Amino acid sequence: MKTFALTLSIILFSLTFVQSQTILDLKVQGNKKIKSTFVVKISRAKAGTVLDSTVLEEDIKRLKRLPAVAHAYYQVFKSHDEKYNVFYNIEENFTIIPSVNFYTTNDDEFAYRAGLYEFNLLGRNMIFGGFYQKDIYSSYGINFRAPYLFSRQLGLAINHQDLTTQEPVFFDNTTADYKYRNKAFEILGLYEINFNNRIELGINYFTEDYEYKFGATNPDVPLNLNVKKLLYKAIYEFNNLDYDYQYVEGFKSILNLQYVTSRSEDLPEFVIGWNDFNYYKKVLNKGNWATRLRIGFATNSETPFAPFSVDNNINIRGVGNTIDRGTGAIVLNTEYRHTLYEKNWFALQGNAFFDAGSWRNPGGDLGDFGQADNIRVYPGIGLRFIHKRIFNAIFRIDYGYGVTKGDTQGLVFGIGQYF
């Protein structure tokens, strides 16, 4: 009995001792543009709370995910009476960033998108900016995103875009080219459930306009279409990534579900959903293995305007600009990145990649994924020029070479890692 009482006393004393280790003050150092009040707002550690290393580690991971933060770490110093001062030390990124993407194939196609974004508006991790795109026709977009606008968990995003491109439409084993315009307004509510999980819910009102330009025709395929649509969107993200400058480790999954209404039988309402599974692993001191698997399906309507596309700048490097469409997609991108040179703020990475994918034909079945005509395989190599103190300042060059029947090859340029 005495032994039990002694053991209980020790446990109670230990719990009291641990609980008495409290945070006297949380201080932020090294920040110039990002507001200290914002860092405190999104942190779980607070003055007066129990000192917990797991909470501090989580806060540092959260900070390193912010566009404004290049690197972060914490320090703990004892003050008095089991009270401690906690310091969050921040190395900031430069966050007013131009965005540039341009790509070409051996068919001499050329398209580009250029923009300018502020990723730390008002020092509170709000993103605002826009882009101009030239892909035969001119397009533009404006975006605002504030994930912590209302609280540590609740935010808002507003987007507007007016995109015009020349799109191929596939039917009867032939192709026609249409001028395609999509004008959209979108609003999303952003909610962070916890450190690893978040959701987005919103609505998108848009107009699709198809205008026939040249190519094959069919009485059942309209030459002109103008349809107003409403899109309901839900996104769920699990994110357990950890960043160390250009290196990434961990797993991330993003599920995107959409329901699109329509007033036209030629562009009927449909449901579409896809999931991106991303896995990153640091290899020794200078290597990083990165993999993305996308699996997506949509309502299997027999329509030439199917939602999933095979495209240079989205899923298969070197394949060309929208060369095919489908109502289902399975795409694997995997690459090994190796730091060839690194000094102070600059790093040079080389990469070897393997992109492969297959699509389900509109109105087809799952067997379409195994058909040779639907499979694209593109290995390739590339370079990454990285500025370690500017957010997403990664200029990439990739060359993909198709090894399946009738494939092309081409260069893909852009800002940021491909995935």
CATH of the domain at 381: 2.40.160.50
The tally of domains found in the chain comes to 2
Q: What is the pLDDT along the chain (419 residues), one digit of tens a residue?
A: 555 555 555 554 444 444 568 999 999 999 999 999 999 999 999 998 999 999 999 999 999 999 999 899 999 999 888 899 999 999 999 999 888 777 665 455 677 889 999 999 999 999 999 999 988 899 999 999 999 999 989 999 999 999 998 887 777 778 888 999 999 999 999 999 998 999 999 999 999 998 999 888 888 788 888 889 999 999 999 999 988 889 999 999 999 999 999 877 767 788 999 999 999 999 999 999 999 999 999 998 877 777 888 887 788 998 877 677 889 999 999 999 999 999 989 999 999 999 999 999 888 889 899 888 889 999 999 999 999 888 888 999 999 999 987 778 888 888 889 99
**Is 275 found in the same domain as 343?**
yes
**Is 50 found in the same domain as 144?**
no
**Is 133 found in the same domain as 65?**
no
Residue that is last in its domain, among 92, 127, 154: 92
**Is 317 found in the same domain as 294?**
yes
d(CA 311, CA 378): 12
**Is 88 found in the same domain as 100?**
no
**Is 237 found in the same domain as 167?**
yes
d(CA 8, CA 90): 43
d(CA 30, CA 39): 12
**Is 360 found in the same domain as 232?**
yes
pTM for the model stands at 0.79
Count of C-beta atoms within a 10 Å radius of residue 322: 19
Q: What is the DSSP string of 115-156?
A: EEEEEEETTTTEEEEEEEEEESEEEEEEEEEETTSSSSSEEE
**Is 403 found in the same domain as 350?**
yes
Residue that is last in its domain, among 59, 92, 125: 92
CATH of the domain at 18: 3.10.20.310
**Is 381 found in the same domain as 277?**
yes
For 38, 68, 91, 245, 345, the CA distances from 32, given in Å and listed in that order, are 12, 10, 9, 19, 18
Residue that is last in its domain, among 67, 92, 117: 92
Q: What H or E segment, with its residue span, contains residue 64?
A: helix 53-65
**Is 77 found in the same domain as 212?**
no
**Is 109 found in the same domain as 86?**
no
Find the domain containing 174 and state its range: 96-415
d(CA 13, CA 9): 6
**Is 125 found in the same domain as 52?**
no
